[in-house]
Structure 1
């Protein structure tokens, strides 16, 4: 069942659009990771994008559509923990559109600063992402601004361009492990896997401290659940969308849950084995891969989805001190 996923030609057109702003990101086979995992391990380095995360692809595609189809829009509003907001801010600035971004209180200081430097007007509201999202919805209704959701077919089409690069370069992966927040990344991976006719299994990975998406897939309907992860804020989904749940339920092989200790260890592994920086949500896929290593196959891959971790927190994680 397609569930409205983009086709190959649509994704290729999106890739041409994205290429005007950023080159393809690399995918590398890392020998130290292979020794650790007991399998050939490929990493797609979305941490090398202009905003340090994969989300920029979706923002560029969405904003291009908005500028063409709704030229009257002069202000957009969205909610984020950081990477989606950076994507919207950069794409909006490029298009000459004002961007208002709502983040929860206590959000990453460095992500907040990056969004402001990219031109976003930042509002801090709510105790978690869902509360920030609901506040952004109120601002849309009160001011008539254009709402950019966290999950949308155009965002999926944009981030699918990363999956197209990855699966075109490494077509015979047994399993690819994809972090799940609101679901655009894994939806894009499923779309490309199906469009290319590959046998690669897609394994979704969620934080066990934010299990709403996994529970929703298991139940076959949206299940809301508190999100309390201390490290993987970018996947701290409290309430997924039904479209994303249905796509993952029909297209993913399985969903794994990793805890905060496993994610912190994956951050350390990325740095020790590849000398790449990963934020918590960006390391969730590797945490799942390492947990699942006896069953993933001989050639596996994952997406390092983002590098935007605050300096002080990164230092604590590297030292094994954990975080609070």
Structure 2
């Protein structure tokens, strides 16, 4: 098990090499929950994630053991970038194995830090096996993304910074994937605050650590697709599990809709871009999965901000539809001059802002002398949508909301 002393050594080693990220108070989330909510913004860390802490500490602590071939690792994204940057700053080569379907933006970022990138393996587990074989065959130094004591200790420095900036928190929410961050943070904060409550958070699509704690032993699961790809890990680490089992009070699960809602809230209320894995802590607090007592001091670790722009676009559109910020509908109009102008004039009068419009004259279900209009509009919420539907119905339009 990683010791508090190993975390303190990591903090000394990393001083000036990584960013002491902000711990910021959120009035909005505090009002929503009745607690005093603080955000530990690791999305503002170098490479956009806490992962660089563990990667840099592992390289610096073991530099004498690293040969001329450099280091090798496997990662779906954030650890890859952390190792690539830490290796570049240490002046050694880095080879990164990523699953074939890894985010394109994370691939490009990893290459941008100077690493050699290999897309091999269908899953992270397969990529890890390939990286381990390369380490033996080519005499490279293997850095595991979470099952390494120096990596765990490096991630634990997040906990030391939390206690430095907020000496008396009552609850810390931390994301859990392979468990490096949760285990390291738990070791660091329990040493100083043994009474503090630590809540681990996983995506319901991949509850590997949660199931391991229930079973009392590590289990391997078949994960579903998740926005929180950074914590979609089939099996919690062998080195991290005992620490999580002994020092983390509980692990809770959040749904994809809850994660998506948290991403949008962080962006709207705090202007913070968080990836899915970074937003799960807010999702857990707001979902009521854990009740924070009124007035308690709550810290949410926002572990990263490397969200693919295409995924962000999907999340925003989905959530805006759910929130009533976007309305989509179809309506059949007489195929005659002025019919479309009349509809658009009505929408103008009820102050609906049209985002997209498609005028279809031929297709299944469209009467011979009619056309179908598909419209997407920006709206002000569900009450506005109800008013729009009533006005359209009052004007004789039979719409189909999509």
Q: TM-score range, shorter-chain basis?
A: over 0.9
User: Tell me, what secondary structure is at the counterpart of 1:320?
Assistant: helix
Distance, in Å, in 2 between the alignment partners of 1:62 and 1:101 is 15
Shift of 1:247: 0.8
Q: Deviations over 1:196-254 (max 9, x none)?
A: 13421001111111111111121111100012233111001112222211111111111
* Equivalence for 2:3: 6
1:75 and 2:70 equivalent?
yes
Correspondence for 1:282 among 278, 282, 298: 278
Distance, in Å, in 2 between the alignment partners of 1:208 and 1:157 is 27
Q: Which runs of 5+ in 1 are unaligned?
A: none
Q: Deviations over 1:51-78 (max 9, x none)?
A: 11111111111110121x3153532111
* Equivalence for 2:125: 130
User: Tell me, what secondary structure is at the counterpart of 1:202?
Assistant: strand
1:314 and 2:312 equivalent?
yes
Q: Are 1:102 and 1:125, in contact at CA under 8 Å, matched by a contact in 2? A: yes
User: Tell me, what secondary structure is at the counterpart of 1:314?
Assistant: helix
Q: Which runs of 5+ in 2 are unaligned?
A: 321-402
Q: Deviations over 1:270-313 (max 9, x none)?
A: 11111100001111111112223662232211111000011121
Distance, in Å, in 2 between the alignment partners of 1:163 and 1:223 is 27
User: Tell me, what secondary structure is at the counterpart of 1:239?
Assistant: coil
Query: Runs of 4 or more off by more than 4 Å in structure 1?
Result: none
User: Tell me, what secondary structure is at the counterpart of 1:295?
Assistant: coil
Distance, in Å, in 2 between the alignment partners of 1:246 and 1:198 is 17
* Equivalence for 1:20: 16
Q: 1:90 to 1:205 in 2, by over 3 A?
A: same
Shift of 1:321: 5.8
Q: 1:218 to 1:5 in 2, by over 3 A?
A: same
* Equivalence for 2:136: 141
Distance, in Å, in 2 between the alignment partners of 1:309 and 1:51 is 12
Distance, in Å, in 2 between the alignment partners of 1:259 and 1:88 is 30
* Equivalence for 2:376: none
Q: Are 1:171 and 1:198, in contact at CA under 8 Å, matched by a contact in 2? A: no
1:107 and 2:105 equivalent?
no
Give the greater-gyration-radius structure (CA).
2
User: Tell me, what secondary structure is at the counterpart of 2:167?
Assistant: coil
Q: Are 1:105 and 1:124, in contact at CA under 8 Å, matched by a contact in 2? A: yes
User: Tell me, what secondary structure is at the counterpart of 1:188?
Assistant: helix
1:43 and 2:39 equivalent?
yes
* Equivalence for 2:389: none
* Equivalence for 1:252: 248
Q: How many residues align?
A: 317
Distance, in Å, in 2 between the alignment partners of 1:255 and 1:114 is 31
Distance, in Å, in 1 between the alignment partners of 2:305 and 2:44 is 8
Task: Map 1:1-324 onto structure 2 (within 5 A).
Answer: 4-7=1-4, 9-67=5-63, 69-151=64-146, 152-292=148-288, 295-297=291-293, 298-320=296-318
Distance, in Å, in 1 between the alignment partners of 2:169 and 2:115 is 38
Distance, in Å, in 2 between the alignment partners of 1:105 and 1:184 is 23
Please report the TM-score for the alignment, with normalisation by the length of structure 1: 0.93
Q: 1:236 to 1:71 in 2, by over 3 A?
A: closer
Q: Deviations over 1:96-130 (max 9, x none)?
A: 21111111112111111000000111111222211
Q: Deviations over 1:12-46 (max 9, x none)?
A: 33223222223311101100111222211010011
Q: Deviations over 1:137-170 (max 9, x none)?
A: 2222332322111221101111111110112221
* Equivalence for 2:324: none
Distance, in Å, in 2 between the alignment partners of 1:292 and 1:174 is 17
TM-align CA RMSD:
1.7
Q: Are 1:27 and 1:43, in contact at CA under 8 Å, matched by a contact in 2? A: yes
Distance, in Å, in 2 between the alignment partners of 1:71 and 1:137 is 15
User: Tell me, what secondary structure is at the counterpart of 1:59?
Assistant: helix
Please report the TM-score for the alignment, with normalisation by the length of structure 2: 0.75
User: Tell me, what secondary structure is at the counterpart of 1:156?
Assistant: helix
Distance, in Å, in 1 between the alignment partners of 2:118 and 2:2 is 32
* Equivalence for 2:354: none
